[in-house]
Chain A
Amino acid sequence: MTAFKRTLSALAVSACLLPAAAVHAGEVEVLHWWTAGGEARAAAALKEMMEEQGHTWKDFAVAGGGGEAAMTVLKTRAVSGNPPAAAQIKGLDIREWAKLGFLTSLDDVAAAENWDQLVPPMISDVMQYEGEYVAVPVNVHRVNWLWVNPQVMEKVGVEIPNTLDEFFTVADKLKAAGYIPLAHGGQPWQDATVFEAVALAVMDSDTYRKAFVEHDLDVINSAVMEEVFAKFAKVMSYVDDNAAGRDWNTATGMVIRGEAAMQIMGDWAKGEFTAAGLTPGEDYLCAAAPGTAGEFTFNVDSFAMFGLSEEENVAAQKDLARTILEPKFQTVFNQNKGSIPVRTDMDMSEFDACAQASMETFKSSADTGELVPSLAHGLATTSYVQGQVFDVVTNFVNSNDKDPVKATDQLAAAIQAAK
């Protein structure tokens, strides 16, 4: 960098900082459950960037992966009129909170920062309630990934399957060679993660959206859904018998150790491979889940912003919202968390191969409409419909007869009851 450029960028930075320093420094209290490893580092980066702007960061971290404990605390605080500035709330739950009048509008920040251009409409829709931004997206996880141990594949002499039928052939060969074809954990959300990948492979993305976002009963109660269940049962037959209750990272460990060949799991699985000291492209491979190439099931973490009374804190809250979508934070955060930036204009050269591939599909699918919300991770529907679907799917996996017709009826009944 030349001296001139350096001066310019220094000027630019100070120009950015000036308006932030001009307003009174406030306090942001942030509720999140990023307490483990890379997540904690990611959260620390945000804290640092807020403190650079002169604000005080009050950490409100409640441990527990799914955030159940955190949500209970949040409800109590919100009802008693003392909500934190921002809370990690996802998917359609954002709308529920907004409907109850707890959230504040971020439209001024969004307009100033041009969020509408940065974030694909499929995702910015989720962040809005009645046309106003009430939440900020933090990252994008792709859920329909297939993680592969190349050594195992090589030993057996098979290639990564691109379609479900190829998957069945490959899996048969792996099974015959004494490997577990598909590593999996028998927990409802993991069952649903595989289920939605199979659903996306069998249906096209429009049908998927009609079924799981719009809850179109004609689509849910159809022959296509029966086929989804039938294929899903076949996929699950390649899972070992002891999967019940296994954690997803234990299943990833099976792929790492070469006991199992593949796993269908979101890109947070990358963290496990990285922690084991493996490099993407060599020691492990990432590919789209069979039959979903070019399609992208997204899972977006986001911060919903609560209505605050004190002016300084509101200013700090707006700064927080702005900072989250800034390229610097997006890079640091997503590299630590294994996800990709939610902005489509980012320079991806510092990311690994899987993240770059993910970004490419993210952009292309956003254009073609192949970008669909994840059902298993609460982006497609409300938590109660999601819960009902989980019940049907997990019951189907664990029943002895696995009757696709019956499961389809149950799914239709459950969604109708919960709608």
Chain B
Amino acid sequence: MEQTQRRPAGVVSAPSRLLDGLQRWLPKLVIAPTFVLIGIGIYGYMLWTGILSFTSSSFLPTYDFVGFDQYAKLMANDRWLTASKNLAIFGGLFIFTCLFIGVVLAIFLDQRIRQEGAIRTIYLYPMALSMIVTGTVWKWILNPSLGIEKLMHDWGWTSFSFDWLVNSNLAIYTIVMAAVWQASGFVMALFLAGLRGVDSSIIRAARVDGASLPLIYWKIILPSLRPVFFSAVMVLAHIAIKSFDLVMAMTAGGPGYSTDLPAVFMYAHTFTRGQMGLGSASAMLMLGAILALIVPYLYSELREKRHD
């Protein structure tokens, strides 16, 4: 704006000035709707959820503020505590196992084996499925009266027992199994790309020095993949915190509410139980958990940029 005004009138002919202006404004115009949508659709609603979490909203939003009541209720709620504990178990095991399996698979695939492309596709394939499909399939496999246990019984091994899915203490681990099956192929792909990017001259030099292959991976290659580790953990942590569809398909939070996760809790209370205030409070705590991950990430990213 200011620049156009400062430019002396009449120096540029009208059509080219129009073009000029268009050229300068068009990108902003094209971007603007996106910004508005993100502003309202993400940050606006985030703010609104924050506001609602301080009200006594029941099944429609109302604006009588009750302070931190909903948060206090949430902290006293047995189901929320179960959900948080489950998130810790699920998130921890899920991230760790996925990383472990992903790295191992990537290292195996990195040995220039035959049919690598085909094998890679097979491992990566679960990622193409929706979590709902994964959950439904695993529900069948793990159900004692349909899946593995029944198969073993039919084969004559009648003392075989695998009832994790219907055992309230173990059901959360069955969800970890399905989630790991879904996501470890993706982690493998990430690491494979990273491994291929490692300078082969370093490896050759290490070979010349007499290092064994496991040692080379352990001491040289994997440490150089720190950024890949970091992004893998970031992505997996997000999947864990927002995890909803997998649980809904596999156990719907059951038996009882023993496999409840915060996202399931939030949905149930906000949309089906008419406790919008409580649901919003739980959503804010989930946002807090994600921020706790993303802020250090952004910080390290920005700091690296400054060094460049």
A186 at the interface (CB under 8 A from B): yes
**For A93, what are the chain B residues with a Cβ–Cβ distance below 8 Å?**
59, 274
Q: How far is the CB of A397 from chain B (nearest CB, A)?
A: 6
Given known A-B contacts A68-B271, A382-B274, A387-B269, A242 and B254 have beta carbons under 8 A apart: no
Give the bracket for the number of chain A residues in contact with chain B. Answer: 20 to 34
Q: Which of A38-46, A71-79, A277-285, A296-304 contacts B (4 or more CB under 8 A)?
A: A71-79
B168 CB contacts on chain A under 8 angstroms: 244, 398-400
Contacts of A131 on B, CB cut-off 8 Å?
Answer: none
Asked whether A186 lies within 8 Å of B166 as measured between CB atoms, the reply is: yes
A180 shortest CB reach to chain B, Å: 11
With a CB–CB cut-off of 8 A, which chain A residues contact B171? Answer: 244
Asked if B245 is at the interface of the complex by the 8 Å CB criterion, the answer is: no
Q: What are the residues of chain A within 8 A of B254 when measuring CB–CB?
A: 186-188, 244-245, 394, 398
B58 at the interface (CB under 8 A from A): yes
Q: How far is the CA of A380 from the CA of B59 in the complex (A)?
A: 18
Interface positions of B from 15 to 62, Cβ below 8 Å from A: 58-60
Shortest CB distance A113–B (Å): 30
Q: Contact at B73–A242, with CB atoms within 8 Å?
A: no
- Asked whether A72 and B271 contact (CB < 8 A) given A242-B143, A391-B78, A391-B79, the answer is yes
With contacts A75-B59, A96-B59 known, is A187 near B273, CB below 8 A?
Answer: no
A384 sits at the interface (CB 8 A): yes
Instruction: Check if A100 is an interface residue, CB within 8 A of chain B.
Output: yes
CB distance from A171 to the nearest CB of B (A): 20
Q: Smallest CB-CB separation from B76: which chain A residue?
A: A417
Are A188 and B58 closer than 8 Å at their CB atoms?
no
Complex contacts, A78 vs chain B, CB 8 Å? 60
Are B166 and A71 interface neighbours, CB within 8 A?
Answer: no
A66 within 8 A of B: yes
Given known contacts A68-B272, A72-B271, A383-B272, A186 and B255 CB-to-CB distance under 8 angstroms: yes
A residues near B139, Cβ cutoff 8 Å? 245
Interface positions of B from 256 to 281, Cβ below 8 Å from A = 256-258, 268-269, 271-275
Interface string of A180-204 (1 = CB under 8 A from B): 0000001110010000000000000
Residue contact A398 to B274, C-beta cutoff 8 Å = no
Chain A residue nearest in CB terms to B77: A417
Q: Does A350 interact with chain B (Cβ within 8 Å)?
A: no
Residues of A within 8 A of B271 (CB): 68, 71-72
Given the complex of chains A and B, what is the CA–CA distance between A241 and B149 in angstroms? 13
A410 at the interface (CB under 8 A from B): yes
Looking at chain A's contact residues, the main secondary structure is: helix
CB distance from B125 to the nearest CB of A (A): 27
Complex contact A398–B256 (CB within 8 A): yes
Contact call B272/A71, Cβ cutoff below 8 A: yes
Are B255 and A398 within 8 A (Cβ)?
yes
A384 to B252, CA, bound (A): 19
CB contacts (< 8 Å) of A186 on chain B: these are: 166, 254-256
Interface of chain B, main secondary structure: loop
- Chain B residue numbers with a CB within 8 Å of A222 are none
Q: How far is the CB of B156 from chain A (nearest CB, A)?
A: 19
Interface 1/0 per residue, A380-395 and B, CB below 8 Å: 0011101100010011
Contacts of A187 in B (CB 8 A): 252, 254
Q: Which residues in chain B, 262-308, are within 8 Å of chain A measured between CB atoms?
A: 268-269, 271-275
A233-249 vs B: 1/0 string, CB under 8 Å?
A: 00000000111110000
Chain A residues near B73 (CB-CB < 8 A): 417
Indicate if the CB atoms of B143 and A66 lie closer than 8 Å: no
In the complex the two chains form, is B274's CB within 8 Å of A245's CB? Answer: no
B-side interface size class: 20 to 34
Among A96, A244, A417, point to the contact of B274 (Cβ < 8 A): A96
CB-CB contacts below 8 Å: B70-86 with A: 73, 76-79
Contact of A242 among B79, B163, B269 (CB under 8 A): B163
B159-171 to A contact mask, C-beta < 8 Å, 1/0: 0000101101101
Residue in A closest to B73 when the chains form the complex, CB atoms: A417
Chain A residues within 8 Å of B165, by CB: 244-245
Contacts of B184 in A (CB 8 A): none
The residues of A that contact B182 with a CB separation of less than 8 Å are none
State whether A398 touches B258 (Cβ < 8 A): yes
A384 with B169: CB separation less than 8 A: no
State the Cβ distance, A236 to closest chain B Cβ, in Å: 12
Complex Cα–Cα for A368 and B183 (A): 60
**Residue of chain A at shortest CB distance from B145:** A242
Q: Kindly report which residue of chain B lies nearest to residue A413, judged by CB atoms.
A: B76
A384 to B60 alpha-carbon distance, docked (Å):
13
Candidate in A191, A244, A398 with the most chain B CB atoms within 10 angstroms = A244
Q: For the complex, is B251 an interface residue (Cβ under 8 Å from A)? A: yes
Residue of A nearest to B270 (CB): A72
Establish whether residues A241 and B144, one from each chain, have CB atoms under 8 Å apart when the complex forms: yes
Q: Is the CB of A384 within 8 A of B255?
A: no
Complex Cα–Cα for A397 and B166 (A) = 12
Report A-chain residues with C-beta under 8 Å of the C-beta of B143.
242
**B257 contacts A394, C-beta separation under 8 Å:** yes
Q: Looking at the assembled complex, report how far the CB atom of A66 sits from the nearest CB atom of chain B, in whole angstroms.
A: 7
Q: Which residue of B lies closest to A191 (CB)?
A: B256
A387 touches B163 (CB 8 A): no
Q: How far is the CB of B227 from chain A (nearest CB, A)?
A: 41
- The residue in A186, A243, A397 that gathers the most chain B C-beta atoms within 10 A of its C-beta is A186
CB neighbours (8 Å) of B251 from chain A are 244-245
The docked-state distance in angstroms from the alpha carbon of A88 to that of B123 is: 47
Which residue among B58, B76, B139, B255 has the maximum number of chain A CB atoms within 10 Å of its CB?
B255
Flag if A245 contacts B255 (CB, 8 Å).
yes
Residue of B nearest to A245 (CB): B254
Give the shortest distance, in Å, between B78 (CB) and chain A (any CB). Answer: 7
- Cα–Cα distance between A417 and B79 once the two chains are bound (Å): 13
Residue of B nearest to A392 (CB): B78
Task: Contact check, B78 vs A75: say whether CB atoms are below 8 A apart.
Answer: no
Quick check: B59 and A383 within 8 Å, CB to CB? yes
- Beyond A188-B256, A244-B254, A383-B274, list 5 extra A-B contacts (CB 8 Å): A72-B271, A244-B171, A244-B255, A382-B274, A397-B255
The 3 nearest A-B residue pairs measured at CB: A398-B256, A244-B166, A387-B273
Can you name 23 A-B residue pairings with CB atoms under 8 Å? A68-B272, A93-B59, A186-B256, A187-B252, A187-B254, A188-B254, A241-B163, A241-B166, A243-B166, A244-B255, A245-B165, A245-B166, A383-B59, A384-B274, A387-B268, A387-B269, A387-B272, A387-B275, A391-B78, A395-B78, A395-B79, A397-B256, A400-B169
